[in-house]
Amino acid sequence: MWGPNQYEWVVMQFATAYAGIILVSVNPAYQSQELEFVLRKVGCKALVFPTQFKTQKYYEILKRVCPELEQSSHGTLKSKKLPDLSVVISLDSKLPGTFSMDDLMQAGDSSHKKELHDIQKTLDSKEPINIQFTSGTTGSPKGATLSHHNIVNNANLIGIRLQIDQGTRCCLPVPLYHCLGSVGGCMVMAVHGSSLVFPSLSFNAKATLQALDHEKCTHVHGTPTMYIDMLGQPDFASYNLSNLQGGVIAGSSVPPEVMKKIIKNMNMREIVVAYGTTENSPVTFMGFPQDNIIQKTETVGCIIPHTEAKIEDPETGEVLPFNRPGELQIRGYCVMLGYWGDPNRTNEVMTDEKWYKTGDIAVLDEYGYCKIVGRCKDMIIRGGENIYPVEIEQFLHTHPKIQEVQVVGVKDERMGEEICASIRVKAGEECTEEEIKAFCKGKIAHFKIPRYIVFVKDFPLTVSGKIQKYKLRERMETHLHL
């Protein structure tokens, strides 16, 4: 499934699960290179997308990877680069080589019902049902593979913690290709019988506020950036948010001031912070609606039932006592089956005892509340999107004028972090910021294109010659007056 938040996304999510088909969630901003990688990685047999969204022309991007599409009759695609792909479904119009969504809806008859019932008898809750791609530190995304058991139980426990019921009307501006949307939104709706409201195809602060007002929403799920943008609307005071009670804020760390503003100005006294990773289906820690302001602003909440957490010294592997920082590890029903077709990378993050290493530095207290204090690696979280510097560095290294490049996250009031690329150009070359941005456009997803490009002569190094990213980050923030 490749595209923005549409009704058909949800239909596909449940239809595939019913039929035992694995749904692969593809980021709607992916360009042809990224698309080809993920489709090949999992051997995708079918691809569903709208013709276009904003500047993304999905059919055109796919044609770059498989030019055979235009000449093939629907359902019989034979592509050199994507040998497994045979079915292409367009959501909104009939294009050469594709089925339309209408074709698909009308193709079912009573014989298929029986076939479906027979298939359902063979399904097992521990089987894979969803592959969620997360950016990879080695430059290629990893497909976190989740089972029915992972997703349904996580959704059930999220709903219980949020005290959701059939009277709940939840607004969902977060993307469905992320776990927060598909599990915390759609699956919670299915398990607890609440209503879901989609304000727009992709996040739009004004549309979200309008939906909260017109649809009398009681809850909303979003990232800190989304809430900051809603609060920052010039006509914010004109919306009636009196029905709002609570919801979830997740995806990156929440500045305490933002949390206080949300509670006061958006009437969300029961808002909770949620923490997790795609690999954990996703939620492992979550606040209670009645938590006090310190718990809401200084922690990521309390551990979810049926989940174990421990803090380990990343150097020695010893389990640390309460209130001592170390690497957070998780074990339980929520841990993914593994990265699809990647046993080596799965083993890097999973121990023999089935503990999942989050890569986050955290502190646990004796009540089960958790505080995230940093990250083992230098992942950038920009507006809730996880971005790995190595991926961007490897791409920028393909520019003919670049000698060396280092990418770091620098602080940003709205997005939490922004991407900054420090570049050393080759001797005798001249290069501009515009040139680098133009080089990125259309080749990597828009959210991975660096906001800041700084040309440097050298990088801060350790004695052994390794780049000190934390020093580089400080240097860049000073240089950019952040």
Say what the pTM is.
0.85
Predicted pLDDT at 466: 62
Q: What are the two backbone dihedrals, phi and then psi, of residue 404, each rounded to the nearest 5 degrees? A: -155, 145
How far, in Å, CA of 197 to CA of 172, rounded?
Answer: 6
Predicted pLDDT at 137: 39
DSSP line for 56-84: EEHHHHHHHH-GGGGGSPTT----SS-TT
How far, in Å, CA of 278 to CA of 317, rounded?
Answer: 24
DSSP line for 261-290: HHHHHS--TEEEEEEE-GGGSSEEEE--TT
Predicted pLDDT at 241: 98
Q: Is the peptide bond before 282 cis (omega within 30 degrees of 0)?
A: yes
pLDDT string in tens for the chain (482-residue length):
999 999 999 999 999 999 999 999 999 989 999 999 999 999 999 999 999 999 999 999 999 999 999 999 999 999 999 999 999 999 998 899 999 999 999 998 889 999 999 999 999 999 999 999 986 434 578 999 999 999 999 999 999 999 999 999 999 999 999 999 999 999 999 999 999 999 999 999 999 999 999 999 999 999 888 998 899 899 999 999 999 999 999 987 787 888 999 999 999 999 999 999 999 999 999 999 999 999 999 899 999 999 999 999 987 899 999 999 889 999 999 999 999 999 999 999 999 999 999 998 899 999 999 998 877 777 788 998 878 787 898 899 889 999 889 999 999 999 999 999 999 998 899 999 999 999 999 999 999 999 999 999 998 875 545 678 889 999 999 999 99
Q: Residue 231 is encoded by which pair of tokens?
A: 């609060």
Predicted pLDDT at 463: 53
Q: How many residues can be counted in the chain?
A: 482
Q: What are the two backbone dihedrals, phi and then psi, of residue 136, each rounded to the nearest 5 degrees? A: -105, 145
CA angle 397/400/401 to nearest 5° reads: 90
- Starting at the edge strand found earlier in the chain, the sheet holding 87-90 runs 46-49, 87-90, 99-100
Q: Tell me the domains of the chain and their CATH numbers.
A: 7-123 (no CATH), 144-375 (3.40.50.12780), 380-479 (3.30.300.30)
Q: Which of 233, 172, 241 is nearest to 213 (CA)?
A: 241
